[in-house]
């Protein structure tokens, strides 16, 4: 897992973000008002204990896209109990015909990954900034590891955000995956990448 500190001022609470595949910390760079923010990505392995979290009185966790399943696996192993847990446009079933992205699409994305196909992915996701630089071989290995790892253990999220125009993880699949979290779901008219500059972090944890 890679670590990206967006802010580190020694505040009492940490905002921990499990980012999605490929986009890294870029979608979150413009959000405001969180104090210390640590973004993690690269889920080829999930054995990083993230010892940084021990320095804080409380940790709130936002998981996005494939980061939702990664967070579910990691929380189960680490024992960390966030004070607030939010999921955005992802499920605990990353490669799943009904509750995530169809496994054959994940496989095809990994097998056919190129500079051009990654740029198309970014556009489909609704990412409006420059296309991030990625290590193609590492990104392919990460996708295969995510699919091979399978569904995450049951994890109760306080808030679940589902974008109606999600072209990466279909809204219908998210609805099926979170059926038992109906009271936590909020629906938004947005793309897969719904974060915008000058939004406040608290909006996503509300």
pLDDT of residue 26: 94
Tell me the pLDDT band of 73, cut-offs 50, 70 and 90.
Answer: very high
Q: Break the chain into its structural domains and give their ranges.
A: 2-205
**Distance separating alpha carbons of residues 194 and 99, to the nearest angstrom:** 20
**Distance separating alpha carbons of residues 180 and 171, to the nearest angstrom:** 15
**Distance separating alpha carbons of residues 197 and 182, to the nearest angstrom:** 28
Mean pLDDT score of the chain = 96
pLDDT of residue 188: 97
Tell me the pLDDT band of 198, cut-offs 50, 70 and 90.
Answer: confident
Residue 34 has pLDDT above 80, yes or no: no
**Residue 68 Cα distances to 73, 91, 93, angstroms:** 9, 6, 9
The string of pLDDT tens digits covering residues 77-116 is: 999 999 999 999 999 999 999 999 999 999 999 999 999 9
**Does the predicted TM-score (pTM) go above 0.95?**
yes
Q: What is the CATH number of domain 2-205?
A: 3.40.50.1820
pLDDT of residue 206: 95
**Residue 147 Cα distances to 68, 69, 88, 96, 173, angstroms:** 13, 10, 19, 9, 16
The string of pLDDT tens digits covering residues 37-55 is: 999 999 999 999 999 999 9
């Amino acid at each position: 897992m890679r670590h990206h500190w967006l802010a580190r001022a020694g505040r009492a609470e940490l905002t921990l973000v499990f980012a999605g595949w490929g986009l890294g910390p870029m979608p979150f760079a413009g959000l405001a008002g969180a104090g210390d923010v640590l973004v993690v990505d690269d889920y080829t392995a999930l054995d990083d204990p993230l010892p940084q979290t021990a320095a804080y009185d409380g940790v709130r966790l936002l998981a996005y896209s494939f980061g939702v399943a990664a967070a579910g696996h990691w929380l189960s192993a680490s024992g960390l109990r966030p004070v607030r847990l939010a999921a955005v446009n992802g499920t605990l079933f990353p490669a799943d015909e009904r509750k995530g992205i169809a496994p054959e699409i994940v496989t095809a994305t990994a097998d056919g990954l190129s500079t051009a196909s990654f740029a198309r992915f970014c556009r489909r996701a609704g990412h409006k900034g420059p296309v991030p630089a990625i290590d193609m071989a590492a990104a392919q290995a990460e996708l295969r590891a995510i699919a091979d790892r399978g569904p995450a253990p049951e994890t109760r999220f306080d808030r679940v955000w589902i974008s109606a125009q999600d072209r990466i993880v279909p809204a219908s699949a998210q609805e099926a995956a979170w059926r038992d979290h109906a009271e936590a779901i909020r629906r938004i008219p947005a793309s897969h990448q719904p974060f915008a500059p000058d939004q406040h972090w608290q909006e996503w944890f509300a």
